[in-house]
Structure 1
Amino acid sequence: MYEKRKVWLAVGAAVLGTTAAQAAQADLEPLQQQNMTIVAPFAGAGEGEGEGEGEGSGVVDLRVNDSAYLARLGLIRGHLYVGKKLYDQGHLAMAKTHMKHPEDELYAALVPAFSARGVEGFGTQLSALADAVNNEQGDDAVNAAYDDLLVAIAATEQVQEKAVKDVLMSLSTMLLTAAAEYDIGVKSGEVVNVHEFQDAYGFTTIAKARIGELTEVQKDANAAALAEVEEILAGLPELWPTITPAGTVEGDSSELYGAAARIELATLN
């Protein structure tokens, strides 16, 4: 499943440390063929809980791994962002494909983390937005549900309480995932999978915006690293001339892979 592959790719980068740097020089097919050494997001949380794809010894626990936790939430934000943008542009059928439910694997795997972290989660708000869009309840209902959901997601992220290093690593992870999605969506300049192309847009947009959620104290204490990361993000080319493309686009996923690697290096320095 594409969704499971995205999950393991996203959390894998947060745990393995050098994944983004390696991926910056790899095409998607070799990346998919590698053992990502991700066993499960909640290994050890209970017998049979959190079983995942792949083999190896690496374990990511979203209850305690802040960068992976933020990356997972960023993926959800990215889906919802592009879905709302499509809705606003009148592409209702496309918008519906990006709406998430609490039963969706991206959200479901976070539930133990919410409990461990003492936050409420946002399943009710997620359902409300999905219902508003899928049941075509109208703009007022959709806009209100989306605004409520963003508030609820922010309350679970608590970016202002996280180490800036973990916040920045989550950006690297999200861009790495976006690059993989772009590889699926675009082949030889032709958009062959619009949904994945759109996912890449959503993930990249949310990654760019996350720095703005930091407090001035966080920014001042990490000024050099943040300046470097902001420069990297600002240097990304426009890979999405439109999110409903027809024909060819001039874009290269290597730009996203490279940005992910450079952010990771800036974070680790």
Structure 2
Amino acid sequence: MHEKRKIWLAVGAAVLGTTTAANAHNNSNDLDGHQQHNMTIIAPFAGAGEGEGEGEGEGSGMVDLRVNDSAYLARLGLIRGHLYVGKKLYDQGHLAMAKTHMKHPEDELYAALVPAFSARGVEGFGDHLNALADAVNQEQGDDAVNAAYDALIIAIKDAEQVQRKEVKDVLMSLSTMLLTAGEEYDIGVKSGEVVNVHEFQDAYGFTTIARSRLDELTEVQREANAEAIAEVEAILASLPPLWPTITPEGKVAGDSSALYGAAARIELATLN
């Protein structure tokens, strides 16, 4: 896993070097040292952990979810990925597995977003998270689960406000989500054997939500960024089938390098 991450990070470092100086120059014109310090908080974030098994959200990275739109969207996308795969498992009758993917407001992925919601003037969705978790965990039945899930997704989309974001930030969020999916796939699959089905499933959820997020862009956003969006759509379409089923038995032929590669290529496409 670490060798593949090094490859991705090397690509990221190459493009980061072309943008960091310009960003630093622009920021220095707007913020004094005290303000710049206060604009950055340490928050757990995908891709920052160092040990196998840590999964998404472990470790810490210098990212301010109050102002960093791509990081904000990526974290919301990870929550949606968990919920998506949990709902899919529920619909397929795998109740015990579905319960493990339900999130609560106390979960670190959500908790780190709370200050961002306040700063951005949007509503959180903690009550909706609880309602869905309760409906699944307490086995309240399909009608209750479906209603809670639908209401929660609406609330998350209201918090995302994808239509108001810069397209480059939306695309960068996809890169982050695929990188995290690659890390989860690495944890889940060893030498073709699924050794951690939860992480294998998470990778599926993150990738699925990354694919679907492009559908939320407006026609105006698409027309203004047609070339970059077309390139990212082609990258996503080229991903091999890594999940023959989300409840696998026996060998799988997938390899996380496809996810790492797609993450790097999307970053490059976004920054070009």
For residues 106-145 of structure 1, the aligned pairs below 5 Å read 106-145=109-148
Shift of 1:19: 3.3
Are residue 244 (structure 1) and residue 270 (structure 2) matched? no
Alpha-carbon shift at residue 206 of structure 1 (Å): 0.2
Q: Indicate the residue corresponding to 2:29 in structure 1.
A: none
Specify the code of the residue in structure 2 equivalent to 1:87.
Y
1:51 Cα offset (Å)? 6.4
Which residue identity lines up with residue 117 of structure 1 in the other structure? Answer: R
**SS of equivalent residue, structure 2 residue 151:** helix
1:20-31 counterparts in 2 under 5 A?
21=11
What amino acid maps onto 1:101 in structure 2?
Answer: H
Equivalent in the alignment of 1:29: none
For residue 164 of structure 1, what is the aligned residue in structure 2? Answer: 167
Runs of 4+ in structure 1 over 6 Å off: none
> Quick one: distance in 1 between partners of 2:244 and 2:10?
25
Residues 1:65 and 2:68 are matched in the alignment: yes
Pick one of 81, 85, 89 that aligns with 2:88. 85
Query: Structure 2 regions of 5+ residues with no counterpart?
Result: 14-36, 51-59
Q: Which residue of 2 aligns with 1:227?
A: 230
**1:189 counterpart = 2:192:** yes
RMSD (CA atoms): 2.4
| Partner Cα separation in structure 2 for residue 102 and residue 51 of structure 1 | 16
Counterparts of 2:256 and 2:11 in 1: how far apart (Å)? Answer: 14
Name the residue aligned to 1:263. 266
**How far is 1:44 from its partner?**
4.0
Whole-angstrom distance in 2 between the partners of 1:50 and 1:239: 33
Correspondence for 1:154 among 157, 172, 180:
157
Give, as a single letter, the amino acid of the residue that structure 1 aligns with 2:11. A
Unaligned runs of 5+ in 1: 1-12, 24-42
Q: What's the TM-score, normalizing by structure 1?
A: 0.82
Note the alpha carbon deviations across 1:205-255, whole angstroms, 9 max, x for none. 000000000000000000000000000000101100000001110001000
Aligned partners of 1:90, 1:242: CA distance in 2, in Å? 14
Distance 1:50 1:74 in 2: 20
Contact 1:50–1:109, Cα closer than 8 Å, also in 2: no
CA distance in 2, matches of 1:51, 1:261: 23
* CA shift in 2, pair 1:51/1:169, >3 Å: closer
Native 8 Å contact 1:20 1:172 kept in 2: no
2:77 to 51, 54, 74: 74
Alignment-mate amino acid for residue 185 of structure 1: G
1:20–1:264: 8 Å Cα contact kept in structure 2? Answer: no
Question: Does residue 1:19 correspond to 2:22, yes or no?
Answer: no
Are residue 254 (structure 1) and residue 257 (structure 2) matched? yes
Distance 2:43 2:117 in 1: 18
Contact in 2 for aligned 1:20/1:176 (Cα 8 Å)? no
Native 8 Å contact 2:42 2:64 kept in 1: no
Inter-partner Cα distance in structure 2 for 1:226 and 1:50: 31
Q: Aligned match of 2:108 in 105, 108, 133? A: 105
Larger radius of gyration: 2
Q: How many residue pairs get matched?
A: 232
More deviation in 130-139 or 57-66?
Answer: 57-66
